[in-house]
């Protein structure tokens, strides 16, 4: 972030904006204005400056991360927003009946969903995520089927043509997926085209598709298109989506479930 010519107050505000974007993904102009105690017009100018510097990406109503080519490291993703992911996971698990068949894809949020499902009975789960398989293996009443293919070492995901063809053999009750980003036009985005192809196969072969995504994914930029949010049955999140995305979800009749702030 360039500092030349910036006053101390402006520099501190810019640092605060960047920090919030890194922590939350999409942040609204209204929230930033309130936090920084300045007008929305000032925040808009700040965002324009930071966008010109390539530090953040400008969106209607707010700002999001600028990078579309590289995801946060898996070890960091496991702890970022963990409490929110756990609340989302418990809420989603409550919508899965016993003895259902499931797909579960790669991602730290889906791993939390796996933990929340451990008290269920008789689930049949097909996954390309070795971490999900290991978590679910603690319940001996589950039948767990693991896709074959190329192991991605950084997160124990299984990708490649073999995994996709394996997934396509099944038709299940529920596909549970995570995502790296949701553009405010409703496009589902990820960083690895190989992971996207597996997730695409899950969507195409599930009777219902449940998307688990915390608020940091709203407006987050990634370079690979998975599909449209209108293709999912329901989204489970921890905050109401920003207005542009909320309108798209409503128009597509996608149910939105927002987790409460406490699991108790």
Residue 1 domain-assigned (yes or no): no
Nearest CA among 83, 7, 93 for reference residue 45? 7
pTM of the model: 0.74
What residue numbers bound the domain in which 100 lies? 74-258
Q: Which of 241, 177, 185, 254 has its CA nearest to residue 211?
A: 177
My answer on whether 209 and 98 are in the same domain is: yes
Instruction: Give the pLDDT of the chain (264 residues) as one tens digit per residue.
Output: 555 557 888 988 998 998 888 777 778 899 999 999 999 999 999 999 988 877 787 877 888 776 554 455 555 555 567 889 999 999 999 999 999 999 999 888 999 999 999 999 999 999 999 999 999 999 999 999 999 999 988 889 998 999 999 999 999 999 999 998 899 999 999 988 888 999 999 999 999 999 999 988 888 878 899 999 999 999 999 999 999 999 999 999 999 999 987 655
* Residue position matching structure tokens 């922590």: 23
Q: What is the DSSP letter of 78?
A: T
Residue 34: CATH number of its domain: 1.10.10.10
Displacement of CA 165 from its chain's centroid (Å): 24
Instruction: Tell me whether residue 229 is in a domain.
Output: yes
CA distance 222 to 220: 7
Q: 143 with 230, same domain? A: yes
* DSSP bridge pairs for 125: 102, 144
Query: Is residue 144 situated within a structural domain?
Result: yes
182: three-class secondary structure by DSSP: strand
Helix, strand, coil percentages, rounded to 5, for the chain:
40, 25, 35
Together in a domain, 54 and 84: no
**Does any domain span residue 264?**
no
**CA 37 – CA 58 distance, rounded (Å):** 20
The CATH number given to whatever domain includes residue 200 is 3.40.50.1360
CA nearest neighbour of 227 among 201, 255, 258, 257: 201
Block residue for tokens 């919030």: 20
Indicate whether 263 belongs to any domain.
no
Count Cα neighbours of 29 within 13 Å in the Cβ-side half-sphere: 17
Q: Could you tell me if 217 and 252 lie in one domain?
A: yes
- Assign 3-class secondary structure to 6-39: CCHHHHHHHHHHHHHHHHHCCEEHHHHHHHHCCC
Same domain as 145, residue 212:
yes
251 shares its domain with 162: yes
- Report the number of distinct structural domains present in the chain: 2
- List the beta strands (DSSP E) in the chain: 27-28, 56-59, 62-65, 101-104, 124-127, 143-146, 150-152, 157-159, 172-177, 181-182, 187-190, 206-212, 224-228, 234-237, 255-258
């Amino acid at each position: 972030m360039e500092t030349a010519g910036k006053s101390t107050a402006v520099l501190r505000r810019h640092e605060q904006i960047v920090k919030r974007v890194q922590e939350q993904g999409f942040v609204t102009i209204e929230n930033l204005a309130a936090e920084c105690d300045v007008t929305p017009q000032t925040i808009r100018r700040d965002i324009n400056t930071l966008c010109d510097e390539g530090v953040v990406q400008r969106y209607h109503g707010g700002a999001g991360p600028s990078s579309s080519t590289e995801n946060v490291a898996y070890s960091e993703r496991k702890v970022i927003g963990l409490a929110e992911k756990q609340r989302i996971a418990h809420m989603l698990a409550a919508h899965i009946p016993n003895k259902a068949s499931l797909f579960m894809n790669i991602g730290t949020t889906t791993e939390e969903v796996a933990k929340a499902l451990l008290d269920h009975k008789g689930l049949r789960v097909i996954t390309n995520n070795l971490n999900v398989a290991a978590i679910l293996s603690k319940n001996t009443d589950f039948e767990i089927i693991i896709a074959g293919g190329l192991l991605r070492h950084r997160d124990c995901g299984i990708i490649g043509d073999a995994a996709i063809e394996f997934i396509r053999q099944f038709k299940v009750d529920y596909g549970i997926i995570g995502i790296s980003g949701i553009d405010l036009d409703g496009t589902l985005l990820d960083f690895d085209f190989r992971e996207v192809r597996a997730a695409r196969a899950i969507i195409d072969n599930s009777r219902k598709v449940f998307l688990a995504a915390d608020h940091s994914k709203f407006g987050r930029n990634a370079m690979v298109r998975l599909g449209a949010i209108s293709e999912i049955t329901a989204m489970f999140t921890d905050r109401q989506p920003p207005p542009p995305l909320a309108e798209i979800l409503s128009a597509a009749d996608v149910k939105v479930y927002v987790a409460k702030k406490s699991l108790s």
